[in-house]
Amino acid sequence: MVRHGGDGPGKRGIEQLRGIFAGFGNKREALIPCLAASQRMQRSITRGTAAFLAGETGSSLAEVYGVATFYHLLTEKPLGRNVIRVCDCLACHVKGGPEVLKAIEEELGIKAGQTTKDGLVSLVESPCMGLCDIAPAVMVNDEAYGDLTPGRARDVARAARLGVMPKYARCGKQAPGGIGSKVVP
């Protein structure tokens, strides 16, 4: 049995995680959903939570960390309240992704992979998020913002810091074609 310290999931967290375990016949299959839920609750996978999950799934701390560190969306480093993910793949890259990243870095005063000192915004480089038709694009938490210019990217970064995300920024000036694309407001 691995002991978990002060950074564990807490009483309410344990309740929630046990609720997830209850939905699975095999506890091991609940590990990734539990890690994702912990990431949402605590903004990172803490050692205490990893130890708790190791105990629950009957595996070692190393095994849980092995899984947690394999997946990009899980992190041991605490993320800020809002997370900006900047796409770094080919379609966004050739259409100005690096300039968008630079503008956001300048606006927030941090580099990709860092969190602002006030803990409000984290900036992460991300592999393709399926927003190639509105490249260059970023996601702020669960919302997509596309057709960005460095200027609009600064607006998005500023809004993420303030915690008020503009809905209209979902798509830009240029109307993407095709039948599956989002409608420009």
| Sites of contact with other proteins (CB under 8 A) | 26, 28-33, 35-36, 57, 66-67, 70-74, 88-91, 93-95, 126-135, 139, 142, 175-181
- Minimum CB distance to other proteins smaller for 150 or for 154: 150
Assess contact for 166 and 114: CB atoms under 8 A: no
Assess contact for 114 and 122: CB atoms under 8 A: yes
**In the complex, least distance from residue 109 CB atom to other proteins, rounded to whole angstroms:** 25
- Minimum CB distance to other proteins smaller for 162 or for 175: 175
Assess contact for 127 and 91: CB atoms under 8 A: no
For 148, other C-beta atoms within 10 Å of its C-beta total 28
Dist CA 183 CA 2 (whole Å): 52
Any idea of the CA torsion for 49, 53, 59, 65, to the nearest 10 degrees? Answer: -40
**In the complex, least distance from residue 177 CB atom to other proteins, rounded to whole angstroms:** 2
- Minimum CB distance to other proteins smaller for 66 or for 119: 66
- Minimum CB distance to other proteins smaller for 33 or for 154: 33
**In the complex, least distance from residue 150 CB atom to other proteins, rounded to whole angstroms:** 17
